[in-house]
Amino acid sequence: MNAYAPQALADPVGLEPPRPTRGRGSSLWGWRLRDQLILLAAWGAGIGLCLIAGAIVLYMGIRGFQYLRPDLLITRPQAGVDQNGAGGFLDPLVGTAVLTLIGISIALPLGVCAAAWIVEYGQGGRARQSLARLVESSIEIVAGTPDIVIAIFGLAVFQLGVLGPLSSRSESGVVTGHSFIAAGATMSLIALPPLFAATREGLQAVPAQVREAAFALGKTRIATIRRVLIPSVRSNIATGATLGISRIVGDTAIVIVVLAEGAPRNEAVGSTPVLGFLRGTGSSLTSFVYGNSPAGEGNSPTKAYAAAFVLLLFILALNGIVGLIARAHARSSGFDVGEARL
């Protein structure tokens, strides 16, 4: 045994730890004038940011509690555009849910498959690398494209005669392009970038040994992806999906342009139960808020406030979910969702 191993020495137990004292800091008066001003401005900006954030949240909270009544959530809006009378926003709630469901169920497989392909196959060979770069920059373009542009692109696509069965036709036989299917499919484009980014980051963070271990057990590459890699990045996929959902829930332009022209009620097309509904037009919470603000024709600000409050609660909940996933996952790995969030 080494005589000088640490345990052989008396630990200085019982010694008072010194009181933490701080020496003099640098005197503000010795700073340059510019620095003094910047310090002042930084404090001002920081406090201002807190105040603005607090004001927005507080204001929406107050208005929400003021105008939100439970019956608004379970009654259908009035027929017609004007919402001044009775009626709630059941239809917009359903609309938001349906749009989210369609959008995310298209975006999820697309985003995950593309991310898996990029990370697992996109490195070998020049052709693959250039395709990988192409895919990444395509998704980057989508991420940067304003939603209004995506909206009118979706409209243009679903107004093509071939896709007529997915929406309805006007009396003159022109395909309107307005339907839940069309809007949901268009929504999948805005949900794609965060999903893709989160999944790709997760896959890239999986250490190479995990793959090598799976290969060493005789698994093929695709089996490794399906049985090992995708399960191990589940929380990343969940994060990406949640971010995508909050994009869909919060988007207005696509709903206004592709789903409906302002009527707050969901109108089915034909009598087929589910398909008729999906081919029909409708509204979402965002378009309801827009339509009932002074900018729209609904003309019922109190309902707009109430719907906006519900919308804000959804976003708050989705944000909370992202935070929870991140916190749960941070314990097992150092993944940070900060970048993918925006």
Partner 1 sequence: MNNDVLTEELPADPWLAAPPPVPPASRVPAGSAASTPPPAPVPPVRTIVLDRAPVPVAPPHQREAVRTQLAAAGPERLTLRNVSIHYGADRGSAGSPNGRRAVNDVSLSIHQGEVLALIGPSGCGKTSLLRTLTRLTELTPSAARGGEILLDGQDVHALQDTRLRSRVAMVFQQPNPFPMSIFDNVAFALREQSRKRPRRREIEPQVVDALRRAGLYEEVREDLDRPALRLSGGQQQRLCIARAIATGPEVLLMDEPCSALDPISTAAIERLIGELRRELAVVIVTHNLAQARRVADKVAFMYLGDLVEYGTAEQVFEAPRAERTREYVRGAFG
Partner 2 sequence: MDPAQITRPTQAPLASLPAQTPPSRPPARGRAGGAALLARLRRPWGDRRAELALGAVSLLICLAVGAMVALVALRAWPTFTHNGLAWLGSGGDVDRQIEGMVATSNHPPASAYHVRAWPLLYGTLLSTGLALAVALPFSLLSSIFIVEFAPKLVRKVISPVVRLLASVPSVIYGLIGILVLVPFVGNHLVTIPEKRSLIGTVELTGASVGVAALILAVMITPIMVALISDALAAVPNAWREGALALGVHKLRATLAVSLRAIRPAIVAATALACARALGEAVMISMVSGSISFAPSLGHGPLTFLAEPVRTFASSIVDNHEGFGGAPALDSTLYAFALLLLFSAIVLSIGAYLIKLPLRRYQAAR
Output the smallest distance, CB 290 to partner 2, in A. 5
Residue 259: which of partner 2, partner 1, none does it interact with, CB under 5 to 8 A by kind?
Answer: none
The least distance separating partner 1 from the CB of residue 45, rounded to whole angstroms, comes to 22
| Binding partner of residue 21 among partner 1, partner 2, none, CB cut-off 5 to 8 Å per kind | partner 1
Tell me: does residue 170 bind partner 1 (CB under 8 A). Answer: no
Residue 2 binds partner 1 (CB under 8 A): yes
Angle (nearest 5°) at CA 133 between 130 and 137: 140
Which one of residues 58, 141, 213, 217 is an interface residue with partner 2 (CB under 8 A)? 141
Q: Is residue 81 within the footprint of partner 2 (CB under 8 A)?
A: no
Rg (CA), the chain: 27
Query: What tokens appear for 335 in the block?
Result: 């993944």
Whether residue 171 contacts residue 84, with contact meaning beta carbons closer than 8 Å, is answered with: no
If binding is defined by CB under 8 A, does position 6 make contact with partner 1? Answer: yes
Q: Which helix (H) or strand (E) holds 265?
A: none
Q: How far is the CB of 21 from partner 2 (least distance, A)?
A: 18
Longest dimension (CA), the chain: 99
Among 316, 285, 295, 279, residue whose Cα is nearest residue 164: 279
CB atoms under 10 Å from CB of 75, counted, come to: 15
Best CA proximity match to 240, nearest among 202, 204, 185: 202
Within 107-136, which residues bind partner 2 (CB under 8 A)? 109-110, 113-114, 116-118, 120-121, 123-125, 128, 131-132, 134-135
- Per-residue contact track with partner 1, 30 to 69, x per CB under 8 A? xxx-------------------------------------
146 contact, one of partner 2, partner 1, none, CB 5-8 Å limit per kind? partner 2
Q: Among 6, 14, 20, 146, which residue interacts with partner 2 (rule: CB under 8 A)?
A: 146
53's contact among partner 2, partner 1, none, with CB below 5 to 8 A by partner kind, is: partner 2
Contacts of 297 (CB under 8 A, 6+ apart): 81, 82, 262, 291
User: How far is it, in rounded angstroms, from Cα 295 to Cα 292?
Assistant: 8
Length of the chain: 342
Q: Which of 73, 94, 101, 142 binds partner 2 (CB under 8 A)?
A: 142
Map the footprint of partner 1 across residues 11-30, applying CB under 8 A.
12, 15-27, 30
- Contacts with partner 2 in 295-314 (CB under 8 A)? 295, 301, 304-305, 308, 311-312
From 138, 232, 299, 333, residue interacting with partner 2 (rule: CB under 8 A): 138
Q: Which is nearer to partner 1, 12 or 70 (CB)?
A: 12
Instruction: Give CA–CA dist 306/77, Å, rounded.
Output: 13
Which of 257, 258, 254, 278 has its CA nearest to residue 268? 278
Cα–Cα distance list, 252 to 49, 266, 286, 287, 291 (Å): 26, 16, 5, 6, 10
Pick the closer one to partner 2 by CB: 44 or 270: 44
Residue 178 or 265 having the CB closest to partner 2: 178
> Which of 249, 316, 341, 323 has the alpha carbon at shortest distance from 53?
316
Q: Residues in the site for partner 1, rule: CB under 8 A?
A: 1-4, 6, 9, 12, 15-27, 30-32
